[in-house]
């Protein structure tokens, strides 16, 4: 079912937009889907489990897919996994996910909703985004009836070939029966969304291809409905690392977990080879404007990185926060000063410098902080620190703590 996209030209503005900006990896029946998008308003969804109070940069490409869908005159559907989060997606995981309570899941969904409100327009119009919770139907399923009506369309033989299952078994990691059901529930979500809100397509990363095809086949077998799937390439950096993974951990989209300044810095630190593709994927700049920035080379590429960081941050946190972050970076790096918008840490009566590095999230542990100090990578007010036992005491003026050239914070009373 389905095939890798081989079309070189599209009729619909949606598929042309996705294609020119580098979002398309695979499409089921691309000719038919393109024709549908050229003549009708298409409703398409992406699903997100609520395992944390925020999504992260690794989720951003799929969120941008929904944004592009709306920009092209179609309707985005955000599916929150209030039901599937209780099961846990085994994709890309070696271990069983921690089970959350219903209250924890609801709190996470409420928190995540704030991010989508910044990036999509919600409402009652034909192209306004809607948010749906799959707990509305999954929590009400009757087990035996579900097995008879839905489970009979899935074979264990085929389910064992899916990467999410096979990789876990190959590594001899436990896969619970609860998790084994996840792909069936995800397929059922697609069927339910087509019934309830007229959803015609599911978007997702390339690792979701098998799950998307499952949903398409289930809808065809049960109701004869024709559904479609579009996946994005796996977004990696030029050195092969997974997008959004840093030594400091997840790059959160919620400003309560990651400051707008640190978010700006994440994009500013993009590798030279990634600037062009990231401008296309993660900003609303025109292709003409991106082309001019892509043509920069040498030291001038830093100007393109600043534009990328500012535009990506403005989209999520607002133009004022983005420009404040850019000014802070310019003050910090250009003049050797300490910008007012840097993250801050209260010292109280005094704090060990290694503890301060860890408290700020600059290092994952005090042991790692001590190693960085020993390497000479830590500076206090631009003076190298070589004593990991140093107690930093508060002063009237903030102290600037730096790790390497790109991570800075202010230590205050």
What confidence tens digit (pLDDT) does each residue in 30-60 have? 999 999 999 999 999 999 999 999 999 999 9
Q: Between 340 and 10, where is the model more confident?
A: 10
Q: Per residue in 226-282, pLDDT tens? A: 999 999 998 888 777 777 665 556 899 999 999 999 899 899 989 999 999 999 999
pLDDT at 286: 97
Q: Per residue in 365-413, pLDDT tens? A: 889 889 999 988 998 877 888 888 899 887 766 788 888 877 888 888 6
E strands, 162-314, are 201-205, 228-232, 245-246, 249-250
Residue recorded with tokens 């300044």: 261
Rounded Cα–Cα distance for residues 367 and 370 (Å): 5
- Specify the DSSP class assigned to residue 125: S
Q: Between 292 and 163, where is the model more confident?
A: 292
Long-range contacts of 282-288 (CB under 8 A, 24+ apart): 282/60, 282/61, 282/64, 282/308, 282/312, 282/315, 283/307, 283/308, 283/311, 283/312, 283/315, 284/71, 284/311, 284/315, 285/311, 287/20, 287/21
Helix (H, G, I), strand (E, B) or coil at 299: helix
The answer to whether the Cα torsion of 372, 373, 379, 384 is positive or negative is negative
pTM of the predicted model as reported, rounded to 2 decimal places? 0.79
pLDDT at 5: 55
- Specify the DSSP class assigned to residue 129: B
In angstroms, the Cα distances linking 167 to 97, 175, 212, 237 are 16, 10, 18, 23
Domain locations along the chain: 3-232, 259-334, 344-412
Q: What are phi and psi of 46, to 5 degrees?
A: -130, 140
At the topology level, CATH places domain 259-334 in: Tyrosyl-Transfer RNA Synthetase (1.10.240)
Query: Mean pLDDT across the chain, nearest whole number?
Result: 88
Rounded Cα–Cα distance for residues 338 and 344 (Å): 11
Q: What percent of the chain has pLDDT over 70?
A: 91
pLDDT at 94: 46
Is the Cβ–Cβ distance between 126 and 41 less than 8 Å? Answer: yes
**344-412: CATH number:** 3.10.290.10
Residue recorded with tokens 């996705």: 18
Rounded Cα–Cα distance for residues 378 and 371 (Å): 10
Provide the phi-psi class of 86: left if phi over 0, else alpha when psi is between -120 and 50, else beta. alpha
Per-residue pLDDT for 317 more than 90?
Answer: yes
E strands, 327-373, are 344-346, 351-352
Q: Per residue in 104-141, pLDDT tens? A: 999 999 999 999 999 999 999 999 999 999 999 999 99
Cα dihedral: 379, 382, 383, 386 (round 10): 10
CATH for 3-232 (3.40.50.620, 3.30.830.10, 3.40.50.20, 3.40.50.880): 3.40.50.620
Helices (H), ranges, 84-224: 102-119, 135-138, 143-149, 156-159, 163-170, 177-180, 182-197, 209-223
What would the mean pLDDT of 59-88 be, rounded to a whole number? 95
pLDDT at 2: 46
């Amino acid at each position: 079912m389905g095939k890798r996209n081989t079309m070189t030209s599209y009729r619909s503005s949606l598929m042309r937009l996705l294609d020119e900006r580098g979002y398309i990896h695979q499409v089921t029946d691309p000719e038919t889907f393109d024709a549908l998008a050229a003549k009708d308003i298409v409703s398409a969804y992406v699903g997100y489990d609520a395992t944390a109070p925020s999504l992260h940069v690794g989720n951003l490409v799929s969120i941008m897919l929904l944004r592009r869908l709306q920009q092209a005159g179609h309707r985005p559907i955000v599916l929150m996994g209030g039901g599937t989060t209780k099961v846990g997606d085994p994709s890309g995981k070696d271990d069983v996910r921690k089970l959350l309570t219903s209250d924890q899941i609801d709190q996470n969904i409420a928190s995540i909703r704030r991010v989508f409100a910044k990036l999509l327009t919600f409402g009652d119009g034909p192209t306004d985004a809607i948010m749906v919770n799959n707990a509305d139907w999954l929590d009400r399923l009757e087990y035996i009836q579900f097995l008879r009506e839905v489970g009979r369309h899935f074979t264990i033989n085929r389910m064992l070939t899916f990467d999410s299952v096979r990789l876990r078994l190959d590594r001899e990691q436990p896969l619970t029966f609860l998790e084994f059901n996840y792909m069936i529930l995800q397929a059922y979500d697609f069927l339910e969304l087509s019934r309830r809100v007229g959803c015609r397509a599911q978007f997702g990363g390339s690792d979701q291809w098998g799950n998307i095809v499952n949903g398409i086949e289930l809808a065809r077998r049960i109701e004869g409905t024709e559904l479609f799937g579009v996946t994005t390439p796996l977004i990696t950096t030029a050195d092969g690392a997974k997008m959004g993974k840093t030594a400091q951990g997840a790059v959160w989209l919620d400003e309560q977990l990651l400051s707008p300044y640190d978010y700006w810095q994440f994009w500013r630190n993009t590798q030279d080879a990634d600037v062009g593709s990231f401008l296309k994927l993660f900003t609303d700049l025109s292709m003409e404007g991106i082309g001019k920035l892509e043509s920069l080379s040498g030291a001038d590429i830093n100007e393109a990185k600043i534009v990328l960081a500012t535009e990506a941050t403005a989209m999520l946190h607002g133009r004022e926060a983005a420009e404040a972050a850019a000014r802070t970076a310019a003050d910090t790096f250009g003049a050797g000063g300490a910008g007012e918008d840097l993250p801050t840490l209260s010292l109280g009566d005094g704090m060990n410098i290694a503890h301060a590095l860890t408290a700020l999230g600059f290092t994952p542990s005090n042991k790692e902080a001590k190693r960085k100090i020993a390497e000479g990578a830590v500076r206090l007010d631009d003076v190298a620190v070589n004593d990991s036992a140093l107690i930093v005491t508060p002063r009237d003026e903030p102290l600037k703590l730096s790790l390497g050239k790109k991570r800075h914070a202010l230590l205050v009373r």
